C-alpha cells in the first residue's frame, strides 16, 4: 500500500536556498503553445470585432461584391437595387432575342415570350445575400464577395401559355411531320418504294430552359431551339416485302365481260385501288372496286320491257322487240374483281341476273298483223252527191294500240274518236251549207217577199264517227256519212205573221252641206239599207246588206277618213266616202230602240254633226269600212221577240233611220255622257295635194276640233223593271286638224 507523504509547511523563520530551476523541452513546447493560443484568441477577438463592425455598417445595404446579371449592387439600398435591376431588365428587353434553327433565325421579344422580371423577389434575393446562416457562413459570404464577388440570378416569371404561343408561331417555319414510307404504283405497272422521312419537332421545355439561361444572364447571344427528330411510323424496311405483290397486281388491265358488253379496268385505275399497308401486305380498296362495279351496273341494269308495236316510216306495223331485265350482282362481281386483282388475274365475268318480260315478241307480232288488217287500205266516205277517203295513214293515226300485259290477250286495238272527229273536220266545213231564211223587205209600207228560204246541211260528226267505227268492225270498204238537214225557221209563208205597228227607235243626221259626191254616196247607202226585215233573234249586219262599196254598186269618190303619210288619219277622197253617216244614223236608231250591239267601231276623230240633238250624243257614232276580204261592221241583235224592219230615208238634207216592230215596252235609261281626257287641237292648217280637184282649187275637208274620251251608259229594262241589257260604250277620239286639199288635176286629165 502506497501512502502519500504528509504535506509539510516550512516554518517562516526557516531559510532555504534552492538551486535555480531549468525548464525541460516539454515545458518549452507547452509554453509556446500557450503563447500561440493567446495570440490566436486575440486575433479572433479582433476579427469578430471587425466583422461585427462590417455587418453593422451594411445592415440596410447590399454587401460589397454582389452582382446580378453583371450589375454591381454593392452598397445599394433596397430602393436603389429595385431601380437598378428594373432599368437593367428594361434595357435588355428592348432588344429582341434571336432564336435559331439551323440557318433559320427568328426575332422574338421578351414580352412575346411571356417572361417578366419579378422585381421584388430579385431585390429580396440581393438584400438577403450574406444575411442567412451562421455567423461563420455569413462571414464566408462577405469574404467571398470582397475577394471575387457574388453573382446572383434575377428572379423571372414565365407565362407558360404565352411562351408556347410565341414558339408556336415560329413552329410552322421549323417543324414538319414525318413522312411514312410508301409504295407508289404507276400506270405503267411499276411499284416504286418511296423512303420514309423523319419529322422535326420543338422541345418546348428545353427551349424554355435555354431561353431563361440567356435572359438570367441578360445575354443577347442567339438561342438555339431545342429540336427533336420524329421518326416515321412506317419505315422503308417495313414495305420492302410487299413490292412484288404490288407490281403483279397492276401489271396488266382486268377485263370484265358480260353479254351486254366489255369493260376494262386499266392499270392506271388499278394503281388507285391497290396499296401496300404498313406491314408490307398488299391491300385492295374494296370500296373503290365496289364503286367501279356499281358504275358498270348503272349501264347494264334495266327493267324488263314488253314487246310492243309501232309504225315505221312506210306505214307498216312492226314489232318493238322485248327487252329482258338485267341486274348486276354487285357483291359477287366485286368479290371476283378483288380476287382477280389480288391474284393477278386479267379477266372476270360480270354476274348478271336476267328475266323475260310479260309480253314476248311473238305475241306482239300477232297483234301487229291484226292492226294491219284492221286499217287495211283505208275507208271510203260517201254522201249524197260525193265521196272522200279516210286513208290508211288516217286510220293508222287514229288507231290506239294498248298494251295489257296482265290480260290474256295482252293487247287491245281501238280508235281514238277525237282524232277521227278531227279527220272529219275538213269535210264538216266543206259540206256545211247554212240554211237561208226567207227574206222580206218593207217597200212603200208593204212587206214584200224578196227571196225564198233554203235548206242547209251539216255533217253530224259524232254520228259519222260511230258509223266509221261500225264499218271498220264489219270489215266494210266504205261508209255513208251522217248528214243532217238544216231547216230554215222562216219561209215565204211567214209573211202573214209579220206585224210592224210601232217605231222602236229613230234618229236623223244632217248632210245638207255635203259635197255632191258625198251626198250621192249617203243617198245610195240609205237606199241599199232601207226596208230590210230582221227576224226574231236575228242579227243585222250593215256590211252584209251593203255588199261591196265600189262603182259597180253605185258609189262614187267622195271624202272619207283614210290613213295619212305620217301614220295618222285624215279626210281624203275615197270611193263611198260618206256611208259612215248612214251607219251612224242606223246605230243611233238601234241604240235608242234598246237593241244589243254586237259590233261597233268609233271614228278616229269626232264628227260634230253626228252629235246633234235630239238623237245624237257626243260619242254616239259608228264607223264602217267594207273591203273584199274583211270589214269593220255594224251589227246588232233583234231580241224583241218579233220581226223588226229598218226604214231609211235620205231627203237631201237629213238622213232618217227608224227601227219598226212591235213595242216590247222597254224603258231605255241613258244618262249624260261622261267626257274625259280632252285634248286641245292644233289650229295650224295642213295641206294635201288631191287629183280629185282641179289645179288651183282648194277645199277644206276637216276642221280642228278637240279630242276626248266619251263614256255612254245605257240600261234597258222590261215592263217589270228587270234588266234586259246593260252596256257601257267607251269611245276615244283624237283631236282633228284643219285640213285643206289642193287640186293638182290639169284640164287635159279630165278629157
Domain match, 211 and 355 both: no
Contact 533, 498 (CB under 8 A): yes
Is residue 620 located within the same domain as residue 532?
Answer: yes
Residue 25 lies in a domain: no
Helices (H), 250-360: 267-273, 286-300, 330-343
256 lies in the same domain as 215: no
Weakly modelled stretches of the chain, pLDDT under 50? 1-21, 43, 49-51, 751
**Which among 447, 449, 430, 446 has a CA at the least distance from the CA of 438?**
449
What whole-number distance in Å separates Cα of residue 92 and Cα of residue 108? Answer: 13
Task: Please give the C-alpha separations between residue 94 and each of 39, 71, 82, 657, in angstroms, as whole numbers.
Answer: 58, 17, 18, 117
746 three-state secondary structure: coil
| Distance (Å) of CA 393 to CA 478, 632, 648, 661 | 16, 42, 57, 56
User: The domain containing residue 216 runs over which residues?
Assistant: 47-175+202-226
Based on the number of CB atoms within 10 Å of its own CB, is 557 exposed (0-12), middle (13-18) or buried (19 or more)? middle
Cα 156 versus chain centre, distance: 64
224 - beta bridge partners?
A: 100
| All three cell numbers of 416 | 281514238
Asked if 266 and 217 sit in the same domain, the reply is: no
- The closest of 238, 237, 239 to 191, measured between CA atoms, is 239
CA distance readout (Å), 403 to 234, 318, 358: 66, 14, 11
Cell of residue 594, nine digits: 234598246
Domain presence at residue 158: yes
CA dist., res. 664 & res. 642, Å (int): 9
At 196, is the secondary structure helix, strand, or coil?
Answer: coil
Asked if 500 and 660 count as a contact pair (C-beta separation under 8 A), the reply is yes
Half-sphere exposure (CA, 13 Å, Cβ side) for 353? Answer: 7
Q: Are residues 277 and 157 in the same domain?
A: no
78-93 and 119-128 are packed helices; what angle lies between their axes, rounded to 10 degrees? Answer: 130
* Among 344, 361, 378, residue at a domain's last position: 361
Return the CATH number at 285.
3.10.20.800
DSSP for 441-463?
EEETTEEEEEE--B-EEEE-HHH
| Residue 195 belongs to some domain of the structure | no
* Contacts by 272-276, CB closer than 8 A, 24 or more apart: 273/341, 274/185, 274/246, 274/249, 274/250, 274/341, 275/183, 275/185, 275/246, 276/182, 276/183, 276/191, 276/239, 276/242, 276/243, 276/245, 276/246
493-to-438, 449, 496, 622 alpha-carbon distances in Å: 9, 9, 6, 35
Placement of cell 295650224 in the chain: 684
Burial tier of 715 (Cβ tally within 10 Å: 0-12, 13-18, 19+): middle
Farthest-apart Cα atoms in the chain, separation: 224
Angle between helices 579-593 and 516-529 (to 10 degrees): 40
Among 243, 256, 106, smallest CA distance to 186 is for 243
Q: Which of 156, 171, 231, 155 is nearest to 207 (CA)?
A: 171
Q: Residues 414-446: pLDDT tens digits?
A: 999 999 999 999 999 999 998 898 999 999 999
3-state secondary structure 467-509: HHHHHHHHCCCEEECCEEEECCCCCHHHHHHCCCCEEEEEEEE
**Both 150 and 271 in a single domain?**
no
- The pLDDT, as a whole number, for residue 622 is 97
Tell me, what's the pLDDT at 696? 78
Do 221 and 339 sit in the same domain of this protein?
no
Dihedrals phi, psi of 73, to nearest 5 degrees = -105, 10
Q: Is position 31 within any domain?
A: no
- Whether residue 463 lies inside any domain: the answer is no
Q: Do the domain assignments include residue 399?
A: no
pTM, to two decimals: 0.51
Residue 404 resides in a domain: no
> Cα dist. 45→21, 37, 58 in Å?
35, 12, 20
Structure-block grid coordinates of residue 665: 215596252
Are both 88 and 216 inside the same structural domain? Answer: yes
> Is the separation of the CB atoms in 406 and 398 below 8 Å?
no
Distances (CA, A) of 60 to 78, 126, 136, 337, 633: 8, 11, 20, 92, 130
Q: Which of 334, 361, 388 is the last residue of a domain?
A: 361
Query: Phi and psi for 718 in degrees, rounded to 5?
Result: -85, -175
According to DSSP, the β-strands at 97-101 and 223-224 are parallel
Of 311, 336, 361, which residue constitutes the final position of a domain? 361
Sign of CA dihedral 468, 470, 472, 478: negative
For 4, residues 6+ apart whose C-beta sits below 8 A from its C-beta are none
Phi-psi region of 677 (alpha: psi -120 to 50; beta: other; left: phi over 0): left
Do residue 209 and residue 310 come from a single domain?
A: no
The tally of domains found in the chain comes to 3
626 occurs within a structural domain: yes
In this structure, the chain runs to a length of: 751
The closest of 472, 372, 368, 480 to 424, measured between CA atoms, is 480
Answer yes or no: do 309 and 217 share one domain.
no
**Do residues 143 and 271 share a domain?**
no
Pair 516, 613 in one domain: yes
Amino acid at each position: 500500500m502506497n501512502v502519500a507523504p504528509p504535506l509539510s509547511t516550512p516554518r517562516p523563520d526557516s531559510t532555504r536556498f534552492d538551486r535555480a530551476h531549468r525548464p525541460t523541452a516539454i515545458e518549452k513546447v507547452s509554453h509556446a503553445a500557450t503563447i500561440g493560443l493567446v495570440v490566436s484568441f486575440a486575433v479572433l477577438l479582433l476579427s469578430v470585432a471587425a466583422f461585427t463592425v462590417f455587418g453593422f455598417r451594411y445592415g440596410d445595404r447590399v454587401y460589397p461584391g454582389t452582382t446580378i446579371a453583371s450589375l454591381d449592387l454593392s452598397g445599394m439600398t433596397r430602393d436603389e437595387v429595385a431601380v437598378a435591376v428594373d432599368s437593367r431588365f428594361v434595357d435588355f428587353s428592348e432588344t429582341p432575342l434571336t432564336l435559331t434553327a439551323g440557318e433559320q433565325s427568328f426575332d422574338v421579344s421578351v414580352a412575346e415570350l411571356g417572361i417578366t422580371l419579378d422585381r421584388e423577389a430579385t431585390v429580396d434575393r440581393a438584400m438577403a445575400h450574406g444575411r442567412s446562416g451562421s455567423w461563420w457562413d455569413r462571414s464566408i459570404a462577405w469574404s467571398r464577395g470582397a475577394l471575387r464577388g457574388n453573382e446572383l440570378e434575377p428572379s423571372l416569371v414565365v407565362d407558360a401559355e404565352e411562351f408556347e404561343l410565341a414558339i408556336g408561331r415560329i413552329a410552322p417555319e421549323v417543324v414538319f411531320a414525318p413522312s411514312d414510307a410508301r409504295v407508289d404504283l404507276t400506270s405503267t405497272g411499276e411499284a416504286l418504294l418511296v423512303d420514309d422521312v423523319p419529322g422535326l419537332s420543338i422541345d418546348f421545355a428545353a427551349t424554355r430552359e435555354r431561353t431563361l439561361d440567356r435572359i438570367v444572364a441578360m445575354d443577347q447571344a442567339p438561342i438555339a431551339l431545342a429540336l427533336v427528330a420524329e421518326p416515321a411510323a412506317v419505315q422503308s424496311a417495313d414495305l420492302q416485302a410487299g413490292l412484288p405483290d404490288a407490281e403483279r397486281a397492276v401489271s396488266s388491265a382486268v377485263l370484265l365481260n358480260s353479254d351486254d358488253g366489255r369493260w376494262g379496268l386499266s392499270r392506271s385505275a388499278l394503281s388507285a385501288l391497290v396499296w401496300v399497308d404498313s406491314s408490307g401486305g398488299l391491300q385492295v380498296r374494296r370500296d373503290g372496286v365496289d364503286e367501279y362495279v356499281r358504275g358498270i351496273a348503272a349501264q347494264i341494269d334495266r327493267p324488263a320491257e314488253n314487246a310492243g308495236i309501232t309504225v315505221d316510216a312506210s306505214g307498216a306495223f312492226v314489232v318493238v322487240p322485248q327487252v329482258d331485265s338485267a341486274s348486276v350482282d354487285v357483291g359477287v362481281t366485286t368479290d371476283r374483281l378483288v380476287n382477280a386483282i389480288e391474284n393477278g388475274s386479267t379477266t372476270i365475268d360480270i354476274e348478271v341476273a336476267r328475266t323475260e318480260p310479260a309480253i314476248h315478241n311473238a305475241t306482239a307480232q300477232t297483234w301487229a298483223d291484226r292492226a294491219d288488217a284492221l286499217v287495211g287500205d283505208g275507208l271510203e266516205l260517201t254522201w249524197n252527191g260525193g265521196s272522200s277517203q279516210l286513208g290508211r295513214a288516217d286510220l293508222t293515226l287514229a288507231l290506239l294500240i294498248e298494251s295489257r300485259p296482265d290480260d290474256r290477250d295482252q293487247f287491245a286495238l281501238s280508235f281514238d274518236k277525237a282524232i277521227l272527229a278531227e279527220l272529219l273536220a275538213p269535210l264538216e266545213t266543206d259540206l256545211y251549207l247554212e240554211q237561208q231564211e226567207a227574206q222580206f223587205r218593207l217597200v212603200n209600207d208593204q212587206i214584200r217577199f224578196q227571196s225564198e228560204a233554203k235548206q242547209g246541211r251539216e255533217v253530224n260528226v259524232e254520228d259519222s264517227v260511230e258509223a266509221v267505227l261500225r264499218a271498220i268492225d264489219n270489215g266494210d270498204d266504205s261508209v255513208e256519212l251522217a248528214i243532217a238537214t238544216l231547216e230554215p225557221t222562216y219561209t215565204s209563208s211567214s209573211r202573214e205573221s209579220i206585224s210592224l205597228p210601232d217605231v222602236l227607235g229613230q234618229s236623223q243626221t244632217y248632210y245638207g252641206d255635203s259635197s255632191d259626191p258625198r251626198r250621192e254616196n249617203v243617198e245610195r247607202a240609205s237606199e241599199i239599207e232601207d226596208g230590210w226585215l230582221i227576224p226574231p233573234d236575228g242579227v243585222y249586219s250593215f256590211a252584209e246588206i251593203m255588199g261591196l262599196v265600189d262603182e259597180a254598186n253605185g258609189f262614187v269618190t267622195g271624202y272619207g277618213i283614210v290613213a295619212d303619210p305620217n301614220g295618222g288619219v285624215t279626210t281624203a277622197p275615197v270611193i263611198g266616202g260618206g256611208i259612215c253617216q248612214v251607219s251612224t244614223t242606223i246605230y243611233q236608231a238601234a241604240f235608242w230602240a234598246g237593241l244589243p250591239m254586237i259590233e261597233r267601231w268609233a271614228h278616229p276623230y269626232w264628227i260634230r254633226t253626228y252629235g246633234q240633238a235630239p238623237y245624237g250624243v257626243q260619242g254616239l257614232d259608228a264607223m264602217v269600212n267594207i273591203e273584199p276580204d274583211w270589214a269593220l261592221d255594224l251589227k246588232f241583235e233583234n231580241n224583241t221577240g218579233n220581226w223588226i224592219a229598218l226604214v231609211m230615208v235620205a231627203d237631201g238634207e237629213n238622213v232618217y233611220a227608224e227601227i219598226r216592230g212591235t213595242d216590247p215596252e222597254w224603258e231605255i235609261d241613258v244618262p249624260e255622257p261622261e267626257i274625259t281626257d280632252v285634248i286641245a287641237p292644233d289650229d295650224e292648217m295642213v295641206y294635201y295635194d288631191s287629183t280629185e280637184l282641179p289645179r288651183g282649187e282648194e277645199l277644206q275637208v276637216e276642221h280642228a276640233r278637240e279630242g276626248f274620251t266619251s263614256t255612254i251608259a245605257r240600261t234597258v229594262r222590261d215592263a217589270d223593271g228587270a234588266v234586259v241589257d246593260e252596256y257601257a260604250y267607251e269611245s276615244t277620239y283624237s283631236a282633228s286638224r284643219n285640213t285643206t286639199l289642193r287640186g293638182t288635176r290639169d284640164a287635159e286629165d279630165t278629157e
